[in-house]
Each structure stands twice: as C-alpha cells, then as structure tokens.
Amino acid sequence: MNPPTAQHADVHTVPVDSDVHIIDIEINSDNIDKSEKNQTNSEILVDVEGEIINGWSRTRAKACPWSRPDALEEQRGLVGMPPLWRRIRHNCRVPPGARRTTMNSKQKPVNLADVVAKAHDTFNRGVTRPIEWRRQQLQNLMRMYTENQNAMVAALAKDLRRCKMEAVLLETEYLINDLKNTLNNLDKWAEPERPSKGFVNMLDDVVIYNEPYGVALVIGAWNYPLQLLLLPMAGAIAAGNVVVVKPSELAEACAQFVAEMLPKYLDNDAVIVVEGGPEETTELLKQKFDYIFYTGGTNVGKIVYAAATKHLTPVTLELGGKSPTYIDGTVDIEVTAKRVLWGKFINSGQTCIAPDYVLCSKEVQEKFVNAARGVLKEWYGEDPQKSPDLCRIINSRHFREKPLTLYVFSTRKDVVANIVDNTSSGGMCVNDTIMHMGVDTLPFGGVGSSGIGAYHGKTTFDTFTHKKSCLVKNFSPIGEKLGSLRYPPYTDKKLNGITMLMAKRSLPSFKFLPYLLTFVLGAGISYGVFTWQKVKK
C-alpha cells in the first residue's frame, strides 16, 4: 500500500505577539490517490506549537491522523462538531481500513477460559521450569527471527510503511540482540542468589530462589508490533513461565505473522497466541493470570489494572507519554536538531519516547528552527512524498503528567543535575534521543501515569520472576546454643544476648566467611606442618 502523498515539508515560525511564537513542522497529504482513499485516509501532520512558560519557550510536537470519511464520522458521533474538535477526537481512534479483530471469520470460536485453564495445567505439570527447556525454546525463537527476518520487515512495511533500515534496527535486530543477551546469561540469571547475612545468621544459608510466576499474559501494541510483544514474551519464557500473547489487531500483518510463526517454532502448550480485538482482550482479562504485561495507552491500561486487581495479579504497564526536551545555549545546535528530529520522525513520531516538545530560550528557538529546516530538507528533500523513509500514521498519544522519558541537551553538568533532581520521569537521556533504549543494562519503564514496572535485559527476566526468599538452618551445637536464647523462660540476660546478636554493625559482609575460615584454617595447618618439619630437622 502506498502512503498518502505529501506536497511539502517545512518548518516555519509564526509570531503571535512579541513573546509567543508557533513553530510548525508539517508533512501535508493533500493529494491522496482515490484508489487508496478507502484504505487509508490518514494525513501525516507533525506540528510544533510554542508558548512562553516561566520565561522559557515550550515547543510541542504532535503527530496525528485526520480527514476521516463522513461515514466514520457519523459512526463515531463526530458529525456537526467543529473541525478542531473533530481532529482532537480522531487522535485516539482506529484508522480507516483497520479491522477491529484479526480473527478470520472462518475460524472456530475459541473458549478463552479453556485456553487459560490449559495454560495453567501446562505450568502445573512443570513443563516450563527446566533451564534446558527454556534454552531450547529461546533458541527456537532465535531461529524464527533469523529465518524470517525478511517476512518480519515485510509485515512492518505493510502495517506501518516502515522502511527497511528502521524495521531492522528498531525491531528485528533489536529482538535478536536482546535474545542473544538472554541466552548468554540465562544460567547466571536463573541460579539462586545468596545475599549477604548478618552475624546472627553467619552459620546459616540465606538464599533467594528465582522462580516463575506461572501463566503470564503479554498484550502488545501497534506502534512497534513485534518488538513490544516478542521481547517481553522472550523474557517470560526465560523466567520459566507459560505465556499467552495477544498481538495488536491494528497492526494486522504483524499479528498474522505472530499467529502463524510462533506455533511453528515454540511449544504450543506453553506459548499460546490469542488473536482478536477489544472483545477478545476483554474476555482474556476476565481470566486469572499470574502476571500481566501490557503496552499501550493509559485508558486501556487502567482497565487492565482494574481487571488485574480482581485476582491480585501483579502487572507491568508500559503506557508512554509526551516526552519534553530541554535545550540550552551550550550545545551544538546542528547536531542537536538532527538528534531531536531523528527521535521524533522515526516511525512518524509513533514512539512512546519520541521527543514531543522543546523547552528553550527564544534565542535557542530561532537557531533550532533554522537548523531543523535544513535537516528536514536534507533528509526528505523538497518533496517528501518521494521519500521512502517516512512511515504511515496509525494513531497518536496524549500528554502525560510524568513522561516516560525526559531529554536534556546541555554541556553543563550543574544544569543536567538540577533537572535530574527536580523532575520526575520514567527515564532520561542526555544530549541524544531514543538511544537509551538500546542499553540493555538500563531498566526501561514509566512512573505515575506513564507506567508501572520496567523491563529490558536482565530486568525483563526479573519482571517475570518471583524472588522466593529462603533461610536454611542447620543443627550445629553452636548455632543451637545461640538460638536457644529465644526459648522460654525469658530473662533479661537472654534479652541482652539476643539484642547483641541482632544488632546491626558496620562490619564486612559474612557472605564470604566460610571461604575466609577455610583459608585461615588451611594457612594454620600449613604453618603447623612447616614448623613441625623444621623442629624435626
């Protein structure tokens, strides 16, 4: 499917008064091919609106679809509304041509209660617990990625008109590298942890066992339909869970790819794909899961959270949010403009951590706008409709009180530290955009309205893992003598003894005490043997 045509791309400043300016970055679609009009009527509009806030110029970028068919407007109750309100209402609606469900009409109805019950039975039989089973499934998943990379790129192009470079870097290679990291570290991540212990437990064994939750539900999103579904799914498998995955129905080609390929490569009893739209998702949420991982909008996130509370099910909610970008006068404006616009324009701004508005001085604003004009012309040319590097808009997101990401462009450490200390966001990136997502040692997640929990790298494994604490005591006479102070009859002497044993001290950890004692004992024996031989001579 070809994208809507675009006549121009430009950045321009419109003065409102002496202090307030509006900066527009637009890619207009005025000439849509009539043969495509019934398939997609989404214009690509990216605009940046500025206003003065506490002495700073605030620039907000938005990517939104609009110009819907009259029939769709009538269906959604939009007829008669002012054009502005119609555009606002359209921002969070399903695009024309997108089906509400990916389930084929020829498919037999699926009893989701039975599906989830069988998933619990699979977990209870211990199928997913062995490390070797997990490793085999992850290796099979790696084969799926490598053997079907072209098909994945094609599905992304069909759903989003994603160019090959973005599809490979942001989805397929991203998934492959994350899976390599998991396979390389699986044994270490899964082994029991032995934390430090205090004096009172120096003769005991203190252990944290990493055990799977059980049956995990992973609900994907439309904007990165493969990465946001398959990455947490791989983490859930690595942790030993049975996984039910629900791909987004709005990215139909990717949902079809997942539904067709996962059963060919993975254990069908332990990894189950549920296709469908809101009705199927609603029915899924009525079932009891041991963990729910959801990526999407806040409104649906609240529904997922409410459904989870009925069964006290733990959740991770990746909800996104508008991400502010601070720019001061110390930075290289040309480089900054490229990094900000790249972060905004990849996937046509349909990225939960895309930079959305800029906070800067008026002087920086003028320099940034001029630089941005040149960058856009360099990247997309005089006529962006001929550029193969622009995606198609499916949907857009709304402002969040606490963003998923905050961007800061400054070479002054005190400025960066001040913003870090006095703002709240899921994460931060300094002097670049988006790139922090590629650091698998950094947890990725939101705070407040932008989400609950985190994942990526080992954090994904930990997200789907229950940390089961265990204290293992022995029957040594010394340990029992110390422990007997807790037994009746109680006396002040016993109380003082217990208090002394339990007191926290600034001493080295006893974690390596057995090794230290062994070393000291060995050194003592060696010294004794050496002394005895010397005396004997």
| Active centre residues (catalytic) | 318
Full strand arrangement of the beta sheet holding 271-273: 271-273, 242-246, 215-219, 291-295, 315-318, 451-452
Sole residue written with tokens 């989701």: 112
Cβ proximity of 160 and 391 under 8 Å: yes
Residue type, 516: L
User: Length of the chain in residues, anyone?
Assistant: 537
Calpha distance 31→36 (Å, rounded): 11
Query: In Å, how far are 81, 145, 156, 167, 175 from 150, measured between CA atoms?
Result: 44, 9, 10, 10, 14
Provide the token pair at 169: 């870097």
**CB atoms < 10 A from the CB of 443, how many?**
18
Q: Which of 32, 92, 160, 159 is nearest to 397 (CA)?
A: 92
Calpha distance 513→535 (Å, rounded): 33
Helix (H) or strand (E) holding 407: strand 405-409
Helix segments in 168-277, DSSP class H: 173-190, 227-238, 252-265
Contacts with 3 (C-beta within 8 Å, 6 or more apart), sequence order: 29, 44, 161, 385, 390, 392
C-alpha 405: how far from its chain's center? 12
Query: In Å, how far are 34, 63, 223, 386 from 4, measured between CA atoms?
Result: 10, 15, 18, 11
Cβ proximity of 55 and 30 under 8 Å: no
- Phi, psi of 498, deg, nearest 5: -65, -40
Helix (H, G, I), strand (E, B) or coil at 118: helix
